[in-house]
Amino acid sequence: MNLTKRIKALTALGEHLSQKDEYLEAVMHRSMYHNPWFTMENQRQAVEAIRQNFLAEEKLRAWVQRYHMPEETTKMKNVGIVMAGNIPLVGFHDMLCVFLSGHRSMIKLSDKDPYLLPYLLQILARIDQDTEAYFQMVDTLKGFDAVIATGSNNSSRYFDYYFSKIPNVIRKNRNAIAILSGEETEEELKALGQDVFNYFGLGCRNVAKIYVPEGYQFDALLEALHEYREIVLHNKYKNNFDYNFAIQVLNKVPYLSNGCIILIENRSLQSRVGELHFEYYSDPVELEQEIDQRAEEIQCVVAREGVLERSTLPFGKAQQPELWDYADGVDTLEFLLNI
């Protein structure tokens, strides 16, 4: 398949996902029973984000035009992809990059997300049977020329050792942060709630920590986040919330809570399910310097435009990446075009 045909197939997949698909709904139900974190709402949200942001023809063409990408691939290589399973279809972008670069994906699915991606590839094969040559599901990676692996900080050390002799992209734990100035509107604070609560906060692009100015009053924030109170009706989230709440009480750790989230002053950029860390700042320049120093822990920064000198995402957009918003800031497509 040449590049034009690959883009055409992906566009057709996007068009299919815009229509009702009862079998896809059945696959989502199966995924939900297999992994209760994958609610129907979260799976639909993930599929819709992929359809809108990754499979629109004009976006795909604009994206590939940024690279010296040949129409015909001279040599197809095998690229191993070790996928994470923290949120639905989290590895789709890596697979998309491999496909567009003209290589074959050898996909090691996460045990937490074994059903959705294979079905999307079945749809793609029905659209164009030639796509089947570009994807292979494997239990063990063997015979690959490069690898993209996503995991925890602990697993990344294993990946670094095991894949050290071949071209690789190894991803570790990261989180999004948000910077508040104290002048945010009610709508902006509610939008921040999407960055915090989408996918139960399990994604690397979820806001796990906020920085607030000294003397910040949390009442408006807590009230805005209370709009998402129905999240505690989810059994696994509620269990985590109750457990973490009890830990803070027993350890006599100061906290703020509105019944669906616990705010704790903590320097760590990673917070547990049901918690949101915060830290005070007094000087935006010093805050910028700290963000630079901790860049390897941060996936993206959410803030009002102009609060920081750097580029930031608007509130509510952390979990809506575009094709060119690469995880960990590593240009996956450029990497694949040069292996």
Quick check: 101 and 64 in contact, CB under 8 A? Answer: no
- State whether 232 and 158 are in the same domain: no
pLDDT recorded at residue 74: 81
The verdict on residue 331 lying in a domain is: no
Which residues span the domain enclosing 215?
A: 175-303
Domain CATH number, residue 217: 3.40.309.10
- State whether 166 and 19 are in the same domain: yes
> Tokens representing 98?
């491999």
Number of domains in the chain: 2
| DSSP character string of 117-150 | HHHHHHHHHHH-GGGGGGEEE-SS--S-SEEEEE
The verdict on residue 194 lying in a domain is: yes
Quick check: 339 and 77 in contact, CB under 8 A? Answer: yes
Distance separating alpha carbons of residues 205 and 302, to the nearest angstrom: 10
Q: Any bridge partners for residue 303, and if so which?
A: 179
Distance separating alpha carbons of residues 198 and 206, to the nearest angstrom: 7
Distance separating alpha carbons of residues 285 and 309, to the nearest angstrom: 9
pLDDT recorded at residue 294: 96
Distance separating alpha carbons of residues 107 and 103, to the nearest angstrom: 12
- State whether 200 and 122 are in the same domain: no
Quick check: 309 and 187 in contact, CB under 8 A? Answer: no
Distance separating alpha carbons of residues 299 and 206, to the nearest angstrom: 9
- State whether 192 and 210 are in the same domain: yes
- State whether 197 and 108 are in the same domain: no
- CA angle 89/320/41 to nearest 5° reads 55
> Tokens representing 136?
């292979």
Quick check: 16 and 70 in contact, CB under 8 A? Answer: no
Per-residue pLDDT of the chain (339 residues; tens, 9 = 90+): 999 999 999 999 999 999 999 999 999 999 999 999 999 999 999 999 999 999 999 999 999 999 999 898 888 999 999 999 999 999 999 999 999 999 999 999 999 999 999 999 999 999 999 999 999 999 999 999 999 999 888 888 888 888 989 999 999 899 999 999 999 999 999 999 999 999 999 999 999 999 999 999 999 999 999 999 999 999 999 999 999 999 999 999 999 999 999 999 999 999 999 999 999 999 999 999 999 999 999 999 999 999 999 999 999 999 999 999 999 999 999 999 999
> Tokens representing 108?
């090691």
Predicted structure pTM score: 0.94
Distance separating alpha carbons of residues 240 and 260, to the nearest angstrom: 11
- State whether 182 and 255 are in the same domain: yes
- State whether 152 and 108 are in the same domain: yes
Residue type (1 letter), 98: V
pLDDT recorded at residue 152: 82
- State whether 75 and 12 are in the same domain: yes
The verdict on residue 324 lying in a domain is: no
